[in-house]
Structure 1
Amino acid sequence: MDETFIKGLYLGQLLAVVGIDGNNGMFLIAYAIVEIENKDTWEWFIQNLIVDLGIENGHAYAFISDKQKWLGLALADLIPNAEHRHCVRHFYNNFKASYSSLILKQILWDAARATTKPWWQCHMERLKIESEEAWKWLYPKSTEHWSRSHFKQHYKCEILLNNLCEAFNASILKARGKLILGMLEAEDGK
């Protein structure tokens, strides 16, 4: 799930949900154009998504985002049993603002890619040895949002990045500058 700015005469935000199929192909599930991104608009969007997809139990769904505050709050309220992951690339960008060495970057990514809790713990211990301050920044973060080792296993999905939405946003870049009806008529984002 992600949002992007609408450009042109009428400004706003485009909220989107992009899915991934069994062949790692991306497909657009739903989108909406809203005036502003906030908790109310995300709740409205997710409520419509719940109806459209017939979601009765959030245990069958995993969402990944760039850790937008309002989206996270809306998901927690409306689909509390769904897994909400945070894009590790965006997570790392916050980390590197204070801890920018290549070794710390590698350790963070190793911890994110770890598939078991003991391996995750091993990488966290390496981080603590390398930089206790970096470890203090990372350790209290909710691991179930960013490390494979803590993802629920029944999803069978190991995605760590929100690249699907980024690719969708890039594909509609030209269309985002058109009027709303023009956006809907645009072919291939032209």
Structure 2
Amino acid sequence: MYEIQKSNPDSSIILKTVDGTSKGQQRFQRLCMYFHGVKQGFLVGCRPLIGVDGTFLKGIVGGVQLIAVGLDANNSIFPVAYATVEGENKESWTWFFKLLKEDLKIERDYEWTIMSDKHKGLIQACGQVFPNAAHRFCVKYLHNNFSISGFKGEALRRALWAAAKATAPAEFVSKMEDMAAIDLDAAKWFDDKPPSQWSKTHFSTYLKCDVLLNNICEYFNSKILDVREKLIIEMIKLLRLYMMQRMKQNRDIA
């Protein structure tokens, strides 16, 4: 932590501990990292969109890696921050979101969009920390839940994506009517899922971006498969290296 602060001034490295088994002993619980150059690059050159996700660590101590990833002007992924936490729950997500909001100095959260899956703890934490931000859900993840609920088949899959890709209110209504014609219950499944969370036609106009998938996080996770098997300190070193390499690639493209 001290070496990173020395070599990357104004970076944020937040360590949280809890009481250990022995009196006066502290035990590692969470670590969150925001590099100064990354924060500045994100605020200057990226869209007000943050994709977030959590992925399990495979080391002997377990835990979860939380990530926040943005989109730059070339629609390339822009890793923003990551945190190693004890588990994916409301408390850990709230902690991560609060640090993210503070470090990025987000005041008008209604101008921002958060994209994620529908993990219950994540949704609650996002609503608490970013109450006015738009919240999109990955349509691929939505379709998986749709299928699990019993609505399978190519016709329904196409109907869902047609509604998600609709760009005008009348078109959205028409596509949902097409879905109802195939299976009325399938269309009713979306009654408690606001179209502003998954259809282009209802997206916030602040973002100027109609992305429907959280691929930015999935791509990041695919690049750290081996890293997730390491011990905490080694894993953090390798994540830092990947972050720096990704930033260099973004500069070369620009």
Normalised by the size of structure 2, how large is the TM-score?
0.72
Pair 1:40 & 2:91 matched: yes
2:224 to 172, 175, 178: 172
Q: CA deviation at 1:160?
A: 0.6
Structure of higher RCO (CA pairs closer than 8 Å, 6+ residues apart): 1
Matched, 1:12 2:63: yes
Unmatched runs of 5 consecutive residues or more in structure 1: none
Write the letter of the residue equivalent to 1:21: D
Amino acid of the structure 1 residue aligned with 2:237: E
Question: Equivalents in 1 of 2:116, 2:126: separation in Å?
Answer: 11
Q: How many residues align?
A: 189
SS of aligned partner of 2:118 = coil
Structure 1 pair 95/14, CA: closer, same or farther in 2 (3 Å)?
Answer: same
Matches within 5 A, 1:75-90: 75-90=126-141
CA shift at 1:188, angstroms?
4.5
CA distance, structure 2, for counterparts of residue 69 and residue 129 of structure 1: 31
* RMSD of aligned residue pairs (Cα, Å): 1.3
Q: Deviation at 1:110?
A: 0.4
- Per the alignment, residue 100 of structure 2 pairs with 49
Q: In the alignment, which of 91, 105, 114 is matched to residue 166 of structure 2?
A: 114
2:80 is the counterpart of 1:29: yes
Distance in 1 separating the partners of 2:88 and 2:157: 31
Contact preservation (8 Å) 1:124, 1:139: no
- 1:60 deviates by 2.0
CA distance in structure 1 between the aligned counterparts of 2:73 and 2:206, rounded to whole angstroms = 15
Any stretches of 5+ residues in structure 2 without a counterpart?
A: 1-51, 244-254
- Structure with bigger gyration radius: 2
**Of 206, 214, 223, which residue of structure 2 is paired with 1:162?**
214
SS at match of 1:155: coil
* Inter-partner Cα distance in structure 2 for 1:76 and 1:34: 20
**Structure 1 equivalent of residue 117 of structure 2:** 66
Q: Deviation of residue 58 (structure 1)? A: 0.3
Q: Aligned partners of 1:70, 1:122: CA distance in 2, in Å?
A: 34
Q: Counterpart amino acid of 2:180?
A: K
Distance 1:76 1:138 in 2: 20
Deviations 1:139-188 (A, max 9, x none): 33211111111111121011111111111011011011001111122244
